Structure 1
């Protein structure tokens, strides 16, 4: 292990691991509904209009997140593609690179807390977690936000430990890193990371009954730095929208999440604890025994800091009624480091009877996930991929090997097996299984159908309004009713419309009323996972050839 931690080797190893985890599927996986597709379509409209202040989804103001992620996506598309391309990977590249950066920064600051062995294992466990791999494959904010979280919390940790006398007192550059990260995080996802840092500071301050260490943050200068990063765009968007963006972001997005389950994404307190074994998989094998071990030595300043990072933030996310699995992602670097501390220190809690019971439960979870590699294609693929069966056996085999090694008290080999489990599992899932689930990607099927049918002008769509279809068909796509779709066919043979089964009756009634005879030119069937319902889209035109 010592040979792997010298010089730049950890950075090279973690970079290689990130390539294996984050690149497979980046190109092959279609746009995901709904958040990712809204992001990439809004970014495309920035590129189309040249307006990099306002965030629009078609004609609607998208007052959900600040502009930072859109700017990064726009820069990536400008460098590697163009606004007319339907390739989604350039939009996803900032997320993949941010996940990689978060992993490297976890090692960089983790070595100051616990040494290079712990930092390397912790960063590898973070890199391999299911939710981070998932976010690295989506053009959203969360992987980017994680990078800012690690930068901010890592700098905060160095200032705290320097004040406690367990590490060298950092210079002003570390405080600058903290405030730059805070400013950038506000541009990415508003108040989330500042809230986590404030909760960490409050937890440490009340636990230690000491506040003098905060001087090292240089708060007055720092607030100016953070404000200079975040404020200009907020001023610009307020001027451009007459204050409507900020008002809608607070009233239409933030407050509904705090006061109720927004968009049916609700859950009781404790939801994230119940999901932890899956969203942190495969590293969750070590989760509960490691936290037990950490609590027993919570007076150690570096352990204290990690717990202050995790516990208040986790409680905050459990209390907020709106719940999505990725919300707790900013706590994962600290969790991963605590798991690595337990492994390197051979904590007795990892070898206890309750721990071994947990290892057995974890193996069962692994078998369920392996079974999903076979079941999902059976349900949602047009043709069953034969490779799903050996892939599922590989996932199950590596997971069982990791659980067996942990049960036999061989913890470091178990961690290596966990990383191998992640590499094999996620490559199979993101490159092989998910892109082949045709029935889940209705928009992709519909776009292929439209591409085969000669037409002119915008495509009119009735009863199916998923953002991914707008990305595929273009900004001018019209999302409307069955009646309006029938009216569109009066434009002649060049007109094309897509009508869902739930709007078909209205469509035919309107067509009969106005004297149009629709001709079926194609049918797409699938499962709309955003609504949890089956959907059939029928493409209609009128007789004649497109001039």
Structure 2
């Protein structure tokens, strides 16, 4: 099947989504709150300071932190943040904007993929909503981390590969594969060899499942050459400037991290099996509905097979690694959103309506219980933990949680399947937006010392000794 055939099977008309409303919601959720929170230690400070030093020094090849060579990551993520700082200035909004933009483009690519190869007209919108409102996708997408950029380039590589895989014309197929190679090269420049490994882990088993492994291997030289052309200039430059970079980066940052879980990132194999359900909230409660729908749809559809391979094999790879952080599995959320959307949008028979309503009701109960616990801690647990010093924050949190529960209950009462899913997707949006304003004061004092340092900057001289109870990223 090619794209034209898919369009004809959809009746030859485009889906009537309100694109302006979708863009507006994305702007309100992901872009508008970017400047609200101060920079959070340690990751945000680090991924903001390295690009700032690139701009200050004029050295765009060798990453530095506090003047010291910093070999943990390649340069693409730093370049994106540095470009934003050059355009918008040194502020919280500028350093977080690349993450939000990367998340938005990932969602758009996901939308295009599902729209091209799924007949049901609401499925692309469900995939987009499930992706953007998953807890990990949202919070990583509004923080300064490299994972959003990596996820974008991996998603781009996978989407373009699948378009090429389904394309019957050779020229178009090779163009799609070249685009996939470009994305692989950019992924490598963002986080190293992981950007090459993840697409291969998804593509190879899928090609084997589809019995097209020979053709895939025959055409693989095209993305390989393009990826090499993208990576090679900086790879040669950094080797000439810093001959020790590749030894440290490959051996320490890849092999040792994977095999021995160096630093404080070591976790057991099953770690991500616990993290993923929490990171996929609120959609975790619709997993049974989606699984029932996928079983009904079967596994002959190439897109379903592709999404399964894209999700399962990178996930197992991350699980096999000794070093683990919750954000590592962010690239797995795009295929998970595809499977969720296809499974949820399968025709709603009585059993699946019961599964949907039961999951939604359980989520509403969990949110209500969480709200009660926060209130109890606020008023009665001050000796253990007091979430907010300012009561207004508690009121804002309560409003967001109340709207979330109300819309979930509305989704249960709705009769049509599309309306049920859209109400469920819209339910957490207000709370997600408000979450940027709801960090507890104790967290801000511990994790965001920038304001404190600025208030006392006038008292600090070149010979001043600064004492801290924990290591500082930068001063």
Alpha-carbon offset, residue 10 of structure 1? 5.2
1:238-289 deviations in whole A, cap 9, x for unaligned? 11112x1221122332223212334323332232222233211222232243
SS in 2 for 1:461: coil
SS in 1 for 2:456: helix
Aligned to 1:310: 311
Q: Does 1:426 align with 2:432?
A: yes
**Residues 403, 206 of structure 1: alpha-carbon distance in 2 compared, 3 angstrom cutoff:** farther
Aligned to 1:236: 237
Quote the Cα distance in structure 2 between the aligned partners of 1:445 and 1:380. Answer: 22
1:29-48 deviations in whole A, cap 9, x for unaligned? 11122222111111111111
Equivalent in 133, 157, 162 of residue 162 of structure 2: 157
**Residues 231, 7 of structure 1: alpha-carbon distance in 2 compared, 3 angstrom cutoff:** same
**Residues 171, 8 of structure 1: alpha-carbon distance in 2 compared, 3 angstrom cutoff:** farther
Quote the Cα distance in structure 2 between the aligned partners of 1:275 and 1:18. Answer: 25
Quote the Cα distance in structure 1 between the aligned partners of 2:30 and 2:46. Answer: 21
Once the two structures are overlaid, the 10-residue window that deviates more, 5-14 or 16-25, is: 5-14
1:64-75 paired onto structure 2 within 5 Å: 64-75=72-83
**Residues 161, 319 of structure 1: alpha-carbon distance in 2 compared, 3 angstrom cutoff:** same
Quote the Cα distance in structure 1 between the aligned partners of 2:161 and 2:462. Answer: 55
1:111-153 deviations in whole A, cap 9, x for unaligned? 1121442112101211111111111222221111121122111
- TM-score normalised by length of structure 1: 0.75
Quote the Cα distance in structure 2 between the aligned partners of 1:145 and 1:342. Answer: 27
SS in 1 for 2:449: helix
Aligned to 1:203: 205
SS in 2 for 1:263: coil
SS in 1 for 2:167: helix
1:199-257 deviations in whole A, cap 9, x for unaligned? 12221233233324416x83223322111111211111111112x12211223322232
Equivalent in 140, 143, 155 of residue 145 of structure 2: 140
SS in 2 for 1:77: helix
The answer to whether the 8 A contact 1:373-1:433 is kept is no
Quote the Cα distance in structure 1 between the aligned partners of 2:360 and 2:16. Answer: 33
Alpha-carbon offset, residue 361 of structure 1? 4.1
Quote the Cα distance in structure 1 between the aligned partners of 2:288 and 2:468. Answer: 46
Aligned to 1:532: none
Aligned to 1:327: 328
Q: Does 1:99 align with 2:103?
A: yes
Alpha-carbon offset, residue 444 of structure 1? 2.9
Aligned to 1:21: 29
Alpha-carbon offset, residue 71 of structure 1? 0.6
The answer to whether the 8 A contact 2:54-2:63 is kept is yes
**Residues 339, 441 of structure 1: alpha-carbon distance in 2 compared, 3 angstrom cutoff:** same
Runs of 5+ in structure 2 lacking a partner?
1-9
Quote the Cα distance in structure 1 between the aligned partners of 2:95 and 2:471. Answer: 18
Aligned to 2:55: 47
1:61-115 deviations in whole A, cap 9, x for unaligned? 221111001111111111111xxx4x22211111111111111111112111214
Alpha-carbon offset, residue 327 of structure 1? 1.4
Alpha-carbon offset, residue 400 of structure 1? 6.0
Once the two structures are overlaid, the 10-residue window that deviates more, 401-410 or 230-239, is: 401-410
Q: Does 1:385 align with 2:386?
A: no
Runs of 5+ in structure 1 lacking a partner?
474-547
Alpha-carbon offset, residue 183 of structure 1? 0.9
Quote the Cα distance in structure 2 between the aligned partners of 1:60 and 1:426. Answer: 37
The answer to whether the 8 A contact 2:77-2:190 is kept is yes
SS in 1 for 2:391: coil
The answer to whether the 8 A contact 1:161-1:302 is kept is no
**Residues 424, 311 of structure 1: alpha-carbon distance in 2 compared, 3 angstrom cutoff:** same
Quote the Cα distance in structure 2 between the aligned partners of 1:277 and 1:403. Answer: 22
Equivalent in 121, 127, 135 of residue 122 of structure 1: 127
Once the two structures are overlaid, the 10-residue window that deviates more, 7-16 or 20-29, is: 7-16
SS in 2 for 1:457: coil
The answer to whether the 8 A contact 1:24-1:431 is kept is no
**Residues 147, 467 of structure 1: alpha-carbon distance in 2 compared, 3 angstrom cutoff:** farther
Alpha-carbon offset, residue 11 of structure 1? 4.1
* Count of residue correspondences: 457
Once the two structures are overlaid, the 10-residue window that deviates more, 139-148 or 245-254, is: 245-254
**Residues 373, 327 of structure 1: alpha-carbon distance in 2 compared, 3 angstrom cutoff:** farther
In terms of Rg, which structure is larger? 1
SS in 2 for 1:51: coil
Aligned to 1:270: 270
Pairwise CA RMSD: 3.1
Alpha-carbon offset, residue 408 of structure 1? 7.2
The answer to whether the 8 A contact 1:123-1:333 is kept is no
Aligned to 1:342: 343
1:306-330 deviations in whole A, cap 9, x for unaligned? 1111111111112212222221111
The answer to whether the 8 A contact 2:185-2:227 is kept is yes
1:364-383 deviations in whole A, cap 9, x for unaligned? 44345545765888746672
Q: Does 1:366 align with 2:370?
A: no
- TM-score normalised by length of structure 2: 0.86
Quote the Cα distance in structure 2 between the aligned partners of 1:303 and 1:131. Answer: 23
The answer to whether the 8 A contact 1:10-1:120 is kept is no
Once the two structures are overlaid, the 10-residue window that deviates more, 338-347 or 130-139, is: 338-347
